[in-house]
Amino acid sequence: MAHYVDGFVVPVPIDKIDAYRAMAEAAGKIWIEHGALQFVETIADDVKPGKLTSFPQSVQMKEGETVAFSWIVYESREQRDAVNAKVMDDPRLKSMMESGAPPFDPQRMFFGGFKSMVELSRG
């Protein structure tokens, strides 16, 4: 079965990883509650700058930062659009975004929506 995936790459200050994790856990619960199939947040473990491009270069990573790579899985683009509309209207998410500066630089974040082309899994 094909899915639709939103992907994100975000620069995160190393000293704000715990705050980023807390925000991601809270936000992820909202996305799942509104219908997302899966919400995954990962933090860089083996991402070295490349010769031409890389995860660190893509977000103009600065000293004292690392990179988060995240994705949300949906049934379809239509379902994703409906879920995101609900999430953006959810007062819990609005409160998170209005409660101060997020624990990352949203201007250097990049994201996009993708149709799955190949899906393999064990089991």
Domains in the chain, ordered, with CATH? 4-115 (3.30.70.100)
**Of 1, 2, 5, nearest in space to 74 by CA:** 5
pLDDT tens-place values along the chain, 123 residues long: 799 999 999 999 999 999 999 999 999 999 999 999 999 999 999 998 888 999 989 999 999 999 999 999 999 999 999 999 999 999 998 888 777 778 998 899 999 999 999 999 997
C-alpha distances in Å from residue 121, one per residue of 1, 13, 85, 118: 11, 33, 30, 10
pTM: 0.92
